[in-house]
Every structure is written in C-alpha cells, then in structure tokens.
Amino acid sequence: MSNMFIIGKRLVPVDHVALVEEYQPGSASRLQTSRDFKARVVLINRDSILTEETVEAFAADKGFSVIPGEGIAINPRVHFRVETFEPAEGFTPTKPYRSRLLWRDQDGNDQSKLLLAEPEIVLDITLKPVADPAPDQSAERKAPRAAGRRKSVRNGPTATV
C-alpha cells in the first residue's frame, strides 16, 4: 500500500481515509453528473469523496478490510474502537444497529458509524494486521546499502596491541 492514492483528480494520503461505503444517491440529491459513482470515501474528519469504484474493488486495490453485509471497507491503518450500540433515549433508529465503529479525527474528536454487524465481528476485522506493502524500488535501493554497512563492519580495521 503506498502512502497516497488518487481519487478523481485528488491526491489523498492513505492515513486520511477512515472507510469506504456504498454510495446511493437519494432523490433529494443536488448532485447532477453523468458519472456513475458507486462508493463514498469517508475521510478521518468525515469529509467525503465520491468514486466510480465499488467498495469491493477499492478495498481489494487499496488493502482495506471489508465488513461483510455492511457495504463498507475500513482502513487497516486507522485505529478503530468498537462499541455495542444501544439507542439513546429519544432516538429511534430506522435499522436494527448492533455496533458502533469509532475513530478520532485530527482534532481529537470522536467520529463514528453505526453498523448492523455484531460488535465481535467488527472488532475481529479491525484487529486484522496491515498487509505488507508491495515491494517498490526504494526497498531495492536500501538493500545494497544495508549489505554494504554489514560488510564494512565485518571487514573493518581490527585493533592491534
């Protein structure tokens, strides 16, 4: 996974993305475009960017973890917390939410997303390790220097008495 990716014309640091969710334009949407947007990339601060990639394609390409049945994929580089969901007094959700996925934005404020999945399933997915980034040229450049340093240590001057 590189340190950034391109969405449309924007360069987005991978650490600024929290999750990707399915995009379903509503009838009240003011967005008028001929592009076929399929997903919304949700940034850490809750801003979002629309993309023509599906959630699954985005997740596979960027190394994100898909939460089955939710239509979302989470960034494994972001520290998430998971809570069981209990509606607050006076709040009647339209869906039977079971868990809340939480993260902190750059200002230290909590952000969250309600999910239908059981909290244990969500927690298990958030604990998956970050996939190793694909080897790139920078790794190839580092190898000879590391080998050279080891060689100079082994073949360095020895103390004589």
Half-sphere exposure of 33 (CA within 13 A, CB side): 11
Residues pairing with 50 in the sheet: 40
Q: What is the CA radius of gyration of the chain?
A: 22
In a domain, 160, yes or no: no
pLDDT in tens, 78-123: 999 999 999 999 999 999 999 999 999 999 999 999 999 999 999 9
In a domain, 25, yes or no: yes
In a domain, 24, yes or no: yes
What is the pTM (predicted TM-score) of this model? Answer: 0.74
Q: Residue 104's domain spans which residues? A: 4-153
* Alpha-carbon gap, residue 23 to 51, rounded angstroms: 9
The mean pLDDT of 38-51, rounded to a whole number, is: 94
Number of domains composing the chain: 1
In a domain, 158, yes or no: no
Angle at 56 between CA 17 and CA 124, to 5 degrees: 70
